[in-house]
Amino acid sequence: MLSIYERHPRYSLFSAFLLLTTLLYLASQHSPPSSPFYPTSSDPTLQTRLVTSERIYQKLLADRKKLVKKFGPTPEKIDLFPANVAPWPAYTVWDFFPAAFNCPHEIERIGALGDGGKWVCGLSRVQHKRNCVVYSVGINHESSFEAGILSKTTGCQIWGYDFSVQKFGPEIPSAMSHRAHFKPWGLAGVNAHGPNDENKMYTLASLMELNKHTHIDILKIDIEGWEFETLSALIKTYVDAGEPLPFGQLQLEIHIWSKNFAQYLQWWEMLENAGLRPFWTEPNLVYQNYNKGGSSDLAEYSFLNIKGANEFIGTTDNNPPDPPAHRK
């Protein structure tokens, strides 16, 4: 006796279509939402966490506009550090720029608990990566951060730059010195050097070209106020070329000495538009302590780059393929 499916093939086709539709629907309920920022990841939960973090961050941007309107109502009317008498409730510039992006991995302080250490998102992602590249600009005789990176990874090498000193700090043991490369040069928005070839200054693109690097996994910058000019020039180069920034994350000390609120807001929004999202911040209380009565105009920030491809938002493999070449 023939079954109903054998006698009526249309029932077979309809049943197959119904089963396929059901499976596709169920799969869609477990897939992360799409995003214009993040590359396809072998870890779908990572994609979900990143998209959720971005949704939270976008709400922060709306809240910032409301805060500007409340205390401004325009950026030009806002003081970085208003006097105690008004307005109330009190605020400082840092309240407009919280580290509201959630790192999708572990967050660990690398280096000293005091001045010199930095907060890093997902160091485990590059712990055993071949040819892991770290740049550290601004040494000042203290290299606990660099020593921590070297001791916690197997493949990371560090390129350090600071024209005010001649070598890394004493924290780097001799057994690891072959993975640490130092030059007494500075980082700036343009290439330049003083008389007798002193105080050499290079753009990040030039340093990467000299080192034959196309990508930096972790970039640390502490250049005493020159971060505004340097990052403005750097970001413009890549944004104008339609390319993502050439690093995975950024540890940056910000010195807001010579800016007003409107200028700082414009610069910060440039960082955000380029894909940088702050996941950690802390004021430099050592500086504030030594300048009692002064304002808290130094702050440490750590940023994740959510555009392009890097180990912190992409593949989970310990030895991922080399990232695509970026603009020199």
- CATH number, domain of 224, equals 3.40.50.150
For residue 90, name the pLDDT band (cuts at 50, 70, 90).
confident
Q: Is residue 291 part of a domain?
A: yes
> Is position 235 within any domain?
yes
The closest alpha carbon to 260, from 303, 232, 297, 299, belongs to 297
Distances (CA, A) of 23 to 27, 48, 315, 323: 6, 20, 26, 34
pLDDT band at 5 (very low <50, low <70, confident <90, very high): very low
- Domain that residue 217 falls in: 101-305
Residue 28 lies in a domain: no
- What confidence tens digit (pLDDT) does each residue in 102-149 have? 999 999 999 998 888 999 999 999 999 999 999 999 998 899 999 999
- Secondary structure (DSSP) of 272-287: HHTTEEEEEEEE-HHH
Q: With a cut of 90, say whether residue 290 has pLDDT above it.
A: no
pLDDT for the residue 327: 38
Is residue 22 domain-resident? no
Q: Is residue 82 part of a domain?
A: no
- Answer whether residue 168 is part of any domain: yes
pLDDT reported for residue 140: 87
Reported pTM:
0.82
pLDDT for 27 equals 43
> DSSP alpha helices (H): ranges in 72-140?
none
Q: How many domains does the chain have?
A: 1
* pLDDT mean across residues, the chain: 84
95 domain residue, yes or no: no
d(CA 141, CA 121): 25
142 is a domain residue: yes
